[in-house]
Amino acid sequence: MACRMQISRHSRWRRAFDGFGLPPRFLTLALLGLPGLASAAYNFNFPEPVTPIARETLHIHNEFMLIITILFVVVFAIMIYSMIKHRKSVGHQPARFSGPKGATQWFWALIPFAILLFIDFVLMGIPAVKAIINMEDTQTRADMVLKVTGMQWKWQYEYPEAGVKFISTLSTPRDQISNAEAKGEHYLLEVDKPVVLPVGKKVRILLTSTDVIHTWWVPQFGVKRDAIPGFLRETWVLIEKPGTYRGQCAELCGKDHGFMPVVVHAVPEPEYLAWLEAQKAEATAAAGGADRAWSSEELMTEGKAVYEKVCAACHQPDGKGLPPAFPGLAGSKIVNGPLLDMNGKVIKDSHVDRVMHGKAGTAMQAFSASLSDVELAAVITYERNSFGNSKGDMIQPAQIKALR
Amino acid sequence: MNAEPTPSAFSDDDLRRRRAAARRLGWLLAAFVLGLYLIGLLIKR
Amino acid sequence: MSIATTHPGGHAAEPYQGGLRRWLTTTNHKDIGTMYMMFSLIMFFVGGLMILAVRAELFQPGLQLMKPEFFNQLIGIHALVMIFAALMPAATGFANWMIPLMIGAPDMALPRLNNWGFWLLPPAAILLTLPFTLALFGIGDGALATGWTFYAPLSVQGGMGVDFAILAVHILGISSIMGSINIIVTIFNMRAPGMTMMKLPLFAWGWLITAFLLIATLPVLAGAVTMLLTDRHFGTHFFDAAGGGDPILFQHLFWFFGHPEVYILLLPVWGLMPHVLATFSRKPTYGYKAQVYSFIAIGLLSVVVWAHHFFTAGMPVPALIYFMFSTMAISLPLAVLFFCWIATMWKGAMSFETPMLFAIGFIVLFGIAGLTGLILADVAADAQYHHSYFVVAHFHYALFAGGIMGVMTGVYYWLPKWTGHMYCEKLGKLHFWLTVFSFNLTFIPQFFLGLAGMPRRIPDYALQFAEFNAISTVGAFILGLSQLIFAWNIWITVRGGKKAEGRVWESAEGLEWELSSPPPHHSWETQPVIK
């Protein structure tokens, strides 16, 4: 895999340079005079496109780069010629004109603008309009739907037709980020559970968010779209080549904005269907789990896993939080408050209420939408019995189910 | 454009008139700004 | 005539005051202009230090120096400081110093308003940066951490730094509106006899359009951040879908201000360029009328293109196409300006003193900003550029090479007029070449980073972006350090140096050069007549 990436990167350069006409890599190195950097990985253009949109975008980009490079060279060649010829030190006598005179001069003065008008609205404008219409056409012959939900700071993926949904979070160890251990090959661009999509199918992607605005971006798909809380936005991809494609959240969304990557596994359709079946089976098993009684050990083990995946980014692994924005859970009044009222209902602003329904106007979101009954019960139980909290009580998945 | 200082001075009257006009226009622009602000504030979809 | 009539503050007959009281109570346009320029220079370094900390963090992958929360605060406050406290005051400082001199007025029309406009700035700057200090003492969680754009709902959930920034933006806005009103009424009412609008120096024209844009758009920004404030504290739901609001409404309101803001920062510079180019080409300005009409066209177009700042937010196809084509249309008046600048140089007798070098550097580098802006307008390609380092590089070509280098052009051009001393030409040239070299070293790699897929505003990045980031950081530090030469050059010029003549530059034209250098405390006690 790594080897193939390497090769494709090389050919990527070559394609990029075809558009430019001059090798910027060489220029950069010459500028620095640091031949030692020659072995490092430089990318001078978009990564290899794997969807029709990305290919079109790369094509448009190369074409535009060529156009503006020509404009730049021509305009400034004229200026530099003038700077060399019309200087005081070579004894040039200044002319006195202050505008075009006569039909010929007006003609030549207006020509550049006619050319620019043509470039803007014809040369660049027409392909752009075509590309936009293609890009926004999310519905024609769409084979399937993927729903993407941005959350601080993870992505949730849902396959509405199959009833499968899961959360995908950064899997790079914290020690790598704090430089305590060597960084892996896909540092910051790796997740615990990548989203899997079939190759050669038009996937309509619906986007939304539970808290702030996020932006879903995979450079090789040529697709970037905001996920806006309370609204649906859409885009589409048709991946042409199996592989692993990596991207990131592109809209500043709070403290861990840099740590919510997107990883997509594109696989042939049979493989995709098999994967989907496995996910369904897992989901059924998990849903079944909600109906049985769980022991406190089971809940604590599951709860720790959920906590570290979902909660620890804000409330910290040790439960101390990052006050004032992210309050600590250790010794917290809310966490150490009563679990449910006498009738087994949720008490307003209690621990269960916070976890299930969030707190408006803060980063604390309503997890009832994204976590399963088991996960909710487990994480609530875990929080009440960790970080020095010792309530000793527990809540069953079945209770959560009833509370929804 | 050529310019040269002349011995004639800004007369008191002239200056006073110009400043009064400037003040009037200034208040007018301020009212415009306030109006825009209120529209911006009260805008509803 | 008596002196009192020429001095609007009404206390010109009082003995000359020195010390703090002079600066606090001054109504003299030159004193206020000087204060604006000094304030701008100080804030330029404050904002610069912030971004150097950011670049240091980005030197290598991994988190070395700071937490992501602090990183987010630095990038946002850097932008707000540079835009509102460095670039805008510098332009207002130019206007205060030069417009009365250029149009033959004894002072600004509303001098007390002028004083007030300046003295609102320092408290606003303190409000903007105070949360950093408060956080050190455990109060609050630091400054605005949403980037300078305040996007809701991130800014709704932010800490008290957001409230501080909202208040600061209000005060800065009031200051700018007062400055703008003053400039408009000064230009309309205080011109010397014979100075018709079509004889008005281009610098004044550029500022006139800027002033109109400011009073047309700042109230909208003020409204937007007030709505944000009420969303945060008074339970309204302007930007909250759960209450019937829309987060994208904020983006529309913000960029209705934000895009004209770009031209607000640049128009005074575009107005200044023809003066410098004509002086050092020893040739009249080419296409005066064309430039005036271009200013007006750009001003009008700038308020109808805002949505190209959030193409990825999703909007109907006709809206995408409209905003794309209207944005591209700006390239035409802008091309007129480029054409006129180069035509002014054409067949002149050029010499390359520091202001001319900066002017040429401005034209070339701002050309890159304009051309990359043209392709950014394309919705299809924008999907790839947007929110990436490509955009960061693009707007730094516009606002550093376009804005700040433009301001430096003006400073070198007019500093002898202000101080009565020539600046050090050698240091000026050194400053120019170091700035141009390190600026490109900083931002060319960022174009490639953006193309390769690095998003903006991330405190840490994947390994494939490491080399370009390292180069960019090296460039940024050289860029930062070379600005010390600029400050030093200004300092020694203020303190002494070769005496400058009234005309300073051999073929400089315009009323401002008819006065001595430095001009008398009360300029144009005798009224000039324009022929």
ipTM of the complex: 0.89
Cα–Cα distance measured from residue A348 to residue A340, given in angstroms and rounded to the nearest whole number: 10
- Taking CB atoms and an 8 Å limit, are C335 and A113 in contact across chains? yes
- Taking CB atoms and an 8 Å limit, are B1 and C530 in contact across chains? yes
Reading the block at residue A161, the tokens are 């037709």
Mutate to test the interface with B, among C29, C185, C214 (most CBs of B within 10 A): C185
- Taking CB atoms and an 8 Å limit, are C386 and A224 in contact across chains? yes
Cα–Cα distance measured from residue A260 to residue A169, given in angstroms and rounded to the nearest whole number: 6
Kindly state whether C222 is in contact with chain B, defined as any CB-CB distance less than 8 angstroms.
Answer: yes
Q: Are C386 and C411 in contact (CB under 8 A)?
A: no
Residues 6+ apart with CB under 8 A from C234: none
Reading the block at residue A385, the tokens are 């019995």
Residue B30 lies inside a defined structural domain of this protein: yes
Cα–Cα distance measured from residue C395 to residue A384, given in angstroms and rounded to the nearest whole number: 49
Kindly state whether B31 is in contact with chain C, defined as any CB-CB distance less than 8 angstroms.
Answer: no
Q: What is the mean pLDDT of residues C224-242?
A: 90
Q: Does residue C501 surpass a pLDDT of 50? A: yes
How many Cβ atoms sit within 10 Å of the Cβ of residue B16?
12
Q: Does residue A320 surpass a pLDDT of 90? A: no
Question: pLDDT value at position B9?
Answer: 54
Amino acid at A202: K
Residue B25 lies inside a defined structural domain of this protein: yes
Kindly state whether C74 is in contact with chain B, defined as any CB-CB distance less than 8 angstroms.
Answer: no
- Name which residue leads in pLDDT, C159 or C407: C407
Contact present, B and C (at least 3 Cβ pairs less than 8 Å): yes
Q: Does residue A25 surpass a pLDDT of 80? A: no
Phi first, then psi, for residue C388 (nearest 5°) are -110, 175
In this prediction, residue C433 has a pLDDT band, given cuts at 50, 70 and 90, of very high
Distance of CA C63 to the CA centre of its chain: 32
| Residues of chain C contacting A212 with CB distance shorter than 8 Å | 151, 153-154, 157
Residue C138, min C-alpha distance to chain A (Å): 9
In this prediction, residue B11 has a pLDDT band, given cuts at 50, 70 and 90, of confident
Residue B32 lies inside a defined structural domain of this protein: yes
Q: Are strands A144-151 and A202-209 parallel, antiparallel or unpaired?
A: parallel
Residue C516, min C-alpha distance to chain A (Å): 26
HEC profile for C477-513?
Answer: HHHHHHHHHHHHHHHHHHHCCCECCCCCCCCCCCHHH
pLDDT > 90 fraction of chain C, expressed in percent and rounded: 78
Q: Are C289 and A85 in contact (CB under 8 A)?
A: no
Kindly state whether C240 is in contact with chain B, defined as any CB-CB distance less than 8 angstroms.
Answer: no
In this prediction, residue C380 has a pLDDT band, given cuts at 50, 70 and 90, of confident
Q: How many alpha carbons fall within 13 Å on the CB side of residue C451?
A: 24
Question: pLDDT value at position A44?
Answer: 81
Cα–Cα distance measured from residue C526 to residue B6, given in angstroms and rounded to the nearest whole number: 6
Residue B44 lies inside a defined structural domain of this protein: yes
Q: Are B32 and C184 in contact (CB under 8 A)?
A: no
Q: Does residue C26 surpass a pLDDT of 90? A: no
Q: Does residue A205 surpass a pLDDT of 50? A: yes
Cα–Cα distance measured from residue A182 to residue C299, given in angstroms and rounded to the nearest whole number: 53
User: How do the domains of chain A map onto residue ranges?
Assistant: 2-85+102-136, 144-180+187-273, 290-403
How many Cβ atoms sit within 10 Å of the Cβ of residue C314?
20
**Would you put residue A181 in left (φ > 0), alpha (ψ -120 to 50) or beta?**
beta
Question: A107-121, A250-264, A352-366, C147-161: which range is least confident on average?
Answer: A352-366
Q: What is the mean pLDDT of residues C444-451?
A: 94
Q: What is the mean pLDDT of residues A359-379?
A: 81
Q: Does residue C132 surpass a pLDDT of 50? A: yes
- Chain B residue with CA closest to C227: the answer is B41
Q: Does residue A14 surpass a pLDDT of 80? A: no
Mutate to test the interface with B, among C181, C212, C227, C275 (most CBs of B within 10 A): C181
Question: pLDDT value at position A41?
Answer: 55
Question: pLDDT value at position A9?
Answer: 42
- Chain C residue with CA closest to A206: the answer is C314
| Residues of chain C contacting A365 with CB distance shorter than 8 Å | none
In this prediction, residue C203 has a pLDDT band, given cuts at 50, 70 and 90, of very high
Structural domain boundaries, residue B44? 19-45
- Taking CB atoms and an 8 Å limit, are C387 and A113 in contact across chains? no
Q: What is the mean pLDDT of residues A259-282?
A: 93
Q: Between the CA of residue A201 and those of A144, A269, A270, what are the distances in Å?
A: 8, 8, 12
Q: Does residue A23 surpass a pLDDT of 50? A: no
Question: pLDDT value at position A35?
Answer: 38
Question: pLDDT value at position B44?
Answer: 57
Kindly state whether C182 is in contact with chain B, defined as any CB-CB distance less than 8 angstroms.
Answer: yes
The whole-chain average pLDDT of chain C stands at 91
Question: pLDDT value at position A243?
Answer: 94
- Taking CB atoms and an 8 Å limit, are C5 and B15 in contact across chains? yes
- Taking CB atoms and an 8 Å limit, are B9 and C527 in contact across chains? yes
- Taking CB atoms and an 8 Å limit, are B26 and C113 in contact across chains? yes
Question: pLDDT value at position C16?
Answer: 59
Which stretch of DSSP H or E encloses residue A150? Answer: strand A144-151
Question: pLDDT value at position C4?
Answer: 33
Q: Does residue A3 surpass a pLDDT of 70? A: no
Residue C299, min C-alpha distance to chain B (Å): 17
| Residues of chain C contacting B18 with CB distance shorter than 8 Å | 109, 189-190
Structure letter (DSSP) for residue A156: E
Q: Does residue A28 surpass a pLDDT of 70? A: no
The whole-chain average pLDDT of chain A stands at 84
Residue B12 lies inside a defined structural domain of this protein: no
Residue C315, min C-alpha distance to chain A (Å): 9
Task: Assign C82 to helix, strand or coil.
Answer: helix
Question: pLDDT value at position C365?
Answer: 96
Kindly state whether B13 is in contact with chain C, defined as any CB-CB distance less than 8 angstroms.
Answer: no
- Taking CB atoms and an 8 Å limit, are C185 and B4 in contact across chains? no
| Residues of chain C contacting A121 with CB distance shorter than 8 Å | 325, 328
Kindly state whether A63 is in contact with chain C, defined as any CB-CB distance less than 8 angstroms.
Answer: no
| Residues of chain C contacting B12 with CB distance shorter than 8 Å | 1, 5
A–C CB contacts, 8 A cutoff, strictly below: 310
Cα–Cα distance measured from residue C161 to residue C183, given in angstroms and rounded to the nearest whole number: 32
Question: A50-54, A338-342, C404-408: which range is least confident on average?
Answer: A338-342
Q: Are A151 and A209 in contact (CB under 8 A)?
A: yes
Cα–Cα distance measured from residue C140 to residue C146, given in angstroms and rounded to the nearest whole number: 15
Per this entry, what is the length of chain C?
A: 531
- Taking CB atoms and an 8 Å limit, are C463 and A228 in contact across chains? no
| Residues of chain C contacting A43 with CB distance shorter than 8 Å | 448, 451-452, 464
Number of domains chain B is built from: 1
Question: pLDDT value at position A333?
Answer: 85
B–C CB contacts, 8 A cutoff, strictly below: 126
Q: Does residue C470 surpass a pLDDT of 60? A: yes
| Residues of chain C contacting B4 with CB distance shorter than 8 Å | 514, 528-529, 531
Q: Are C108 and C189 in contact (CB under 8 A)?
A: no
Q: What is the mean pLDDT of residues A347-352?
A: 86
Residue A189, min C-alpha distance to chain C (Å): 7
Question: pLDDT value at position A396?
Answer: 85
Q: Are A329 and A292 in contact (CB under 8 A)?
A: no
Question: pLDDT value at position A45?
Answer: 85
Q: Which fold does the domain A290-403 belong to in CATH?
A: Cytochrome Bc1 Complex; Chain D, domain 2 (1.10.760)
- Taking CB atoms and an 8 Å limit, are A133 and C317 in contact across chains? yes
Q: What is the mean pLDDT of residues C362-369?
A: 95
Question: pLDDT value at position A340?
Answer: 83
- Chain C residue with CA closest to A71: the answer is C371
Alpha-carbon torsion angle A270, A275, A280, A286, nearest 10: 170
Q: What is the mean pLDDT of residues C85-98?
A: 95
Cα–Cα distance measured from residue C71 to residue C458, given in angstroms and rounded to the nearest whole number: 8
Question: A3-17, C98-112, C119-133, C284-298: which range is least confident on average?
Answer: A3-17
Question: pLDDT value at position A354?
Answer: 87
Question: pLDDT value at position B43?
Answer: 65
Kindly state whether C507 is in contact with chain B, defined as any CB-CB distance less than 8 angstroms.
Answer: no
- Taking CB atoms and an 8 Å limit, are C328 and A121 in contact across chains? yes
- Name which residue leads in pLDDT, B39 or A218: A218
Q: Does residue C211 surpass a pLDDT of 90? A: yes
Question: pLDDT value at position C275?
Answer: 95
Residue B2 lies inside a defined structural domain of this protein: no
Which stretch of DSSP H or E encloses residue A245? Answer: strand A243-249
Q: What is the mean pLDDT of residues A73-77?
A: 94
Question: pLDDT value at position C75?
Answer: 94
Residues 6+ apart with CB under 8 A from C182: B26, C108, C109, C110, C113, C114, C117
Q: Between the CA of residue C237 and those of A150, A369, B40, C161, C164, what are the distances in Å?
A: 21, 22, 15, 20, 20
Question: pLDDT value at position C17?
Answer: 63
- Chain A residue with CA closest to C161: the answer is A325
Residue A395, strand partner residues: none
Q: Does residue C13 surpass a pLDDT of 50? A: no
Superfamily designation of domain A144-180+187-273: Cupredoxins -  blue copper proteins (2.60.40.420)
Kindly state whether A22 is in contact with chain C, defined as any CB-CB distance less than 8 angstroms.
Answer: no
- Taking CB atoms and an 8 Å limit, are C226 and B41 in contact across chains? yes
Q: Is C58 exposed, middle or buried (0-12, 13-18, 19+ CB in 10 A)?
A: buried
Question: pLDDT value at position A204?
Answer: 94
Alpha-carbon torsion angle C144, C446, C398, C87, nearest 10: 40
Tell me which residue in C185, C525, C530 faces B3 most closely, judged by beta carbons: C530
Cα–Cα distance measured from residue C292 to residue C91, given in angstroms and rounded to the nearest whole number: 18
Question: A209-213, C240-244, C402-406: which range is least confident on average?
Answer: C240-244
Q: Are strands A164-168 and C526-530 parallel, antiparallel or unpaired?
A: unpaired
In this prediction, residue A34 has a pLDDT band, given cuts at 50, 70 and 90, of very low
Q: What is the mean pLDDT of residues A276-284?
A: 88
Kindly state whether C356 is in contact with chain B, defined as any CB-CB distance less than 8 angstroms.
Answer: no
| Residues of chain C contacting A73 with CB distance shorter than 8 Å | none
| Residues of chain C contacting B1 with CB distance shorter than 8 Å | 199, 509-510, 530
Question: pLDDT value at position A404?
Answer: 78
Kindly state whether B3 is in contact with chain C, defined as any CB-CB distance less than 8 angstroms.
Answer: yes
